[in-house]
Amino acid sequence: MFMHNGGIGGWKHVKRRLAGSLGDAWFINVQGSTDSEWAFALFLDSMDRMGHSPDKEPSEGGFGHTVLRKAILRTIERINTLIAEIPEDLRTEDSRSLLNFAVTDGHSVVCTRYVSSCTDEAASLFFSSGTSWKEQKHSKACQDGEKDYKMERRDKGSDIVLVASEPLTFERGESEPLSTQHLPAQISKHRFANDEQIIG
């Protein structure tokens, strides 16, 4: 599964060259014209070029967070290269990329919070982790007919990690913002890392 929130900068000048850089297996599967679909195809192509074919069934533990991280970083690098190659006289639109990606192989999850600008903030991305995500039966929201949830933390482990573009609750400290230009990953269901800086 793959998710993209944001946009590829200079998209109308990048799309054709991005499409042309893909292997046939990934090019022919794109059904639409959104930058998100093409970014996913680029991610699959990057995995394939690294020697990890997305068409093949991964091992019992999936591809693993290391492979997913490297493929996401390679995808961002390729997007940045395509944008850098836009001729100066064609740079009539915003060439900043907002690349909040999330990808999973069913075992590991890798997310990015990235902006290609050195001065702008990336689109928001938050995470919350704990032992269970429970509906709160007696909250004010429930009295108004809405459902209200809270992350429970019964111990130091994390059985659940939720990632969202906005905080999932209004509880202070419930959701933590991910750092800009970072690539966090759920390495296993009990450990969440937020420590790798994306250079670019």
Q: Give the number of other CB atoms < 10 A from CB of residue 116.
A: 20
37 with 92, same domain: the answer is yes
110 with 167, same domain: the answer is no
Which of 25-29, 60-64, 186-190 is predicted least confidently? Answer: 186-190
Q: What pLDDT does 142 receive?
A: 52
Q: For residue 183, is it within any domain?
A: yes
18 with 91, same domain: the answer is yes
**Strand 132-135, strand 126-130: pairing:** unpaired
Q: What pLDDT does 185 receive?
A: 52
32 with 109, same domain: the answer is yes
45 with 138, same domain: the answer is no
19 with 76, same domain: the answer is yes
Please state, in angstroms and rounded to a whole number, the distance separating the CA atoms of residues 4 and 139: 33
- State how many domains the chain has: 2
Q: For residue 75, is it within any domain?
A: yes
Ranges 10-14, 88-92, 166-170, most confident = 10-14
Q: What pLDDT does 73 receive?
A: 92
22 with 41, same domain: the answer is yes
Task: Please count the helices (runs of H) and the strands (runs of E) in the chain.
Answer: 5, 10
Please state, in angstroms and rounded to a whole number, the distance separating the CA atoms of residues 70 and 56: 18
79 with 151, same domain: the answer is no
Which of 58-67, 69-78, 136-145, 149-158 is predicted least confidently? Answer: 136-145
CA dist 108 to 53, 159, 174, Å? 17, 13, 22
The whole domain housing 145 covers 126-177
49 with 14, same domain: the answer is yes
Categorize the per-residue pLDDT at 190 as very low, low, confident or very high, splitting at 50, 70 and 90: very low
Neighbouring-strand partners of residue 197: 182
Q: For residue 200, is it within any domain?
A: no
167 with 182, same domain: the answer is no
Q: For residue 199, is it within any domain?
A: no
60 with 105, same domain: the answer is yes
Which of 63-67, 75-79, 140-144 is predicted least confidently? Answer: 140-144
116-148 pLDDT per residue, tens: 888 888 888 887 777 777 777 766 655 566 777
- CATH code for position 51: 3.60.20.10
135 with 185, same domain: the answer is no
The answer to whether residue 187 scores a pLDDT higher than 50 is no
Q: What pLDDT does 180 receive?
A: 76
Rounded to 10 deg, the angle between the 65-84 and 11-20 helix axes is: 120
